[in-house]
Chain A
């Protein structure tokens, strides 16, 4: 008997033929990996050929649901997209949310895995009748949102669509997959779908799944809903994540001009507090969410853009651009093209520095030039001009350009850094260095420790290691259940509380201790996948700029992150994770992963 909240199976579809097979997922396996990012990691181990080119037909890409999807638990309508990243060559999972999660799961599968490639532009449809392909030639070149709209119009009621934009079609290595305006953003999963010549995946609910204890789930949902209106989520409700911008600027953690500074004098022009007053603003929520973090602004000219901290950081201070209309326009352009804003902004900022140093011939590309920012985005989306180079991301581009430009290519494992300055957030520095996805703020939330007041954020040490491990473990569970990370502040005993939720849904007698073990398993499974795909010890490291250029902060102190300090923290992390000195697990810990 399958546990509550699950169907106990994945649908594996060949995009070349639409032939589908069912992969049974045992209770034991589901309990070990839960769903979402965790189950996705296992699926990549099981279905991904070792060493496969992420853009090759045989590379799998999975839409993975989770046991909580479809319950009334707030923020649970989320799904993970998982594949080997064309940007990093490592395991990549990216989350998105809303109705696609619910309809996708209610196709009757805990995951939909796509392999192979179509011979013409197509869309994959999955419903109660299984999988089939439909021609999508008319959707070519469209923004994802428009493709989604047209496909839903064509298919009729009940269909939900995840689609790629032009960047995904053209293989930009940081192209996104989006649904209802929300992106599975990081790591280039849109390029993986594009390489399969799939413009979109559409799903329609056809089955039902019940929790093991509906009454307990209802009670928990009411409680969680009430807590979700409290102070832990006020920031997200009232101003959205952009509220970070001014605060980060004040504490020297706002990466500016390709991490050459950590404060941006013109930050107030881009602040949520200013934009909220000056621009028409609308709030929006994902399905099944009571937080409502989405803040949508209207730029001069009428273009609407979802505004979050990361896209404003990456397209604003990171590129030295302070005109709010330009940043909103650039953000909207990324949405249209289907580009990860963090990698796009990071790559353009690197190119701006290269241009200023004379390493690339692009005299038009300068920090602070808003027109240049938009032009660069367009060239990336079209893979034309300089865009052909920049579509590869900073790591590959720096390898081609040379001239020492890798020292200021702000990436880890090929993934561009998010808007958290590692020199002034040294727990986060460790999290960014060792995380399996690369420089990532969602799978490693160690910035929480830096901002907690419990440790010196400018002097990384063993306490920072413990914080990095803990936050990585918490993320592993939240991303597998899946619950939105913005809810995390409402849990006082998170592992125990999550275990209670999971038990009510599944019927398992899950404990907090078991979930801690599950978290470690998921983190290790990701690392083991990367090892299989060629990870080297030097991949757990930070760019030279962060380790060689001290950073003065407002108080007069100078933030320094030395290679020795980072090495010491990484060694501590390896020890805490039961890894050897080179970051590799021993055989006994591999047995627990159930990968055979």
Chain B
């Protein structure tokens, strides 16, 4: 078992925002759908969403597992405990994050996961002035430790870090990853939105810079790669003057084929549009 998992904690109260952050819109998608999609791209293994008991969630891909916090309002260590327990047995390491990271980049997730894959119990970024426990990698065997801390009502992540090996990744260490340095040089991956003003600022930023390329009969005179801005595959299709349907599919960075317009895009992505019918 060498798979890595993703855990998205969606159960926070969003009290400062005044509305559930998971459902906030950002360039054609919700924050939760976007975060789940980006974590999924980097993790490769199962992705779990941890929610408060009975919490309504925006639409998610069918392969995403939803896990309920046993108790509401106990904070991130409770969510981590539930998520890590659900991931244990399916993955050795998981990237765990909050739902409110509109600029999260898969290159950041991969870099952080690597710290735990190399042996640490926790890969903890320290970026933009703070440790980032809600954008960090955890060994799934920490589930029992987190559960015990919840029982003891020691609910801050720092208590967890006291009981395991932690590799701290400062900004220099993060930027040493050439892919991350190129695609997220300001480490915006950890920029979260807690208050309405944060959200408005995030919305004011343009969608990521991507590249689109249409093939065959879809090209319609537009040959070769072309720059565009889009935060979802549907947005990229619209920029290309196309709609995903039974005859048109998208391939993200030459990898998975999809008709799901909600698949999130990040800076540096390339989206190919091709005819679904490959007969030849």
Contacts and interface: CB of A to CB of B under 8 A. Distances in A.
Interface of A: 231-232, 234-239, 241-244, 246-248, 250-252, 272-273, 308-310, 419-420, 441, 445, 447-448, 450-454, 456-458, 485-486, 488-489, 553-555, 557
Given A235-B277, A243-B217, A244-B278, A554 B246 contact: no
B251 interface: yes
Interface in B230-280: 245-247, 249-260, 272, 274-280
Interface in B205-244: 213, 215-217, 219, 223
A414 B219 CA distance: 38
B254 A554 contact: yes
A555 B276 CA distance: 20
Nearest to A310: B280
Given A456-B256, A554-B254, A250 B215 contact: yes
Contacts of A242: 280
**Which 3 pairs, one residue from A and one from B, show the smallest C-beta to C-beta distance?**
A243-B216, A554-B254, A241-B280
Main secondary structure of the interface of B (DSSP, over half): loop
Contacts of A445: 279
A554 B253 contact: yes
A235 B275 contact: yes
A247 B280 contact: no
A450 B257 contact: yes
Contact of B216 (A247, A308, A452, A454): A247
Given A239-B216, A555-B253, A557-B255, A451 B279 contact: no
B246 A489 contact: yes
B84 to A, nearest CB: 24
A489 B272 CA distance: 21
A432 B77 CA distance: 49
B279 A238 contact: no
A234 B216 CA distance: 9
Nearest to A234: B217
B233 to A, nearest CB: 10
A247 B257 contact: no
28 contacts: A231-B245, A232-B277, A234-B217, A234-B247, A235-B216, A235-B277, A239-B216, A239-B217, A241-B279, A243-B215, A243-B217, A246-B216, A247-B278, A251-B251, A251-B274, A272-B216, A273-B219, A273-B223, A419-B280, A447-B278, A451-B276, A452-B276, A453-B259, A485-B279, A488-B279, A489-B277, A553-B254, A554-B253
B275 A555 contact: no
A250 B213 contact: yes
Interface of B: 213, 215-217, 219, 223, 245-247, 249-260, 272, 274-280
Nearest to A485: B279
Contacts of A241: 279-280
A231 B274 contact: no
Given A243-B275, A251-B272, A441 B280 contact: yes
Given A235-B216, A235-B217, A238-B217, A244 B260 contact: no
B213 A232 contact: no
B117 to A, nearest CB: 15
Contacts of B255: 251, 458, 553-555, 557
Contacts of B223: 273
Nearest to B255: A555
Contacts of B280: 241-242, 244, 308-310, 419, 441
Nearest to A263: B254
A457 B279 contact: no
B247 A251 contact: no
B247 A232 contact: yes
Contact of B279 (A247, A251, A458, A486): A486
A444 B251 CA distance: 23
Contacts of A247: 215-216, 272, 274-275, 278
A531 B258 CA distance: 39
Nearest to B215: A247
Contacts of A244: 216, 278, 280
Nearest to A239: B216
A420 B278 CA distance: 10
Contacts of A447: 278
A309 B274 CA distance: 15
Contact of B258 (A309, A420, A453): A453
Contacts of A243: 215-217, 275
Given A243-B215, A250-B272, A486-B279, 18 more contacts: A231-B245, A232-B277, A234-B247, A243-B217, A244-B278, A246-B215, A247-B278, A250-B213, A250-B251, A308-B280, A450-B257, A451-B257, A452-B276, A454-B259, A457-B257, A485-B279, A489-B247, A553-B255
A279 B238 CA distance: 32
A504 B45 CA distance: 51
A231 B243 CA distance: 12
Contacts of B275: 234-235, 243, 247
B247 to A, nearest CB: 5
Given A447-B278, A554-B254, A452 B215 contact: no
Contacts of A232: 246-247, 277
A157 B202 CA distance: 76
Contacts of A486: 277, 279
B222 to A, nearest CB: 11
Nearest to B273: A247
B79 to A, nearest CB: 28
Central interface residue in A234, A235, A244, by most chain B CB within 10 Å: A235
Given A241-B280, A243-B275, A486-B279, A250 B247 contact: no
A406 B237 CA distance: 44
A250 B254 contact: yes
Nearest to B248: A231
Given A251-B251, A273-B223, A445-B279, A457 B217 contact: no
Nearest to A232: B247
Given A250-B254, A272-B216, A453 B279 contact: no
A346 to B, nearest CB: 15
Nearest to B277: A489
Contacts of A234: 217, 247, 275
B257 A452 contact: yes
Contacts of A273: 216, 219, 223
B250 to A, nearest CB: 8
Central interface residue in A243, A454, A554, by most chain B CB within 10 Å: A243
Given A441-B280, A448-B278, A251 B216 contact: no
A557 B276 CA distance: 22
B249 A452 contact: yes
Contacts of A252: 254
Central interface residue in B250, B253, B257, by most chain A CB within 10 Å: B257
A83 B122 CA distance: 64
Contacts of A489: 246-247, 276-277
A488 B276 CA distance: 12
A448 B249 CA distance: 11
A457 B216 CA distance: 21
A457 B251 CA distance: 11
A486 B247 CA distance: 13
A555 B216 contact: no
A145 B250 CA distance: 41
A234 to B, nearest CB: 4
B241 to A, nearest CB: 14
A578 B262 CA distance: 39
Central interface residue in B223, B245, B247, B275, by most chain A CB within 10 Å: B275
Contacts of B277: 232, 235, 448, 486, 488-489
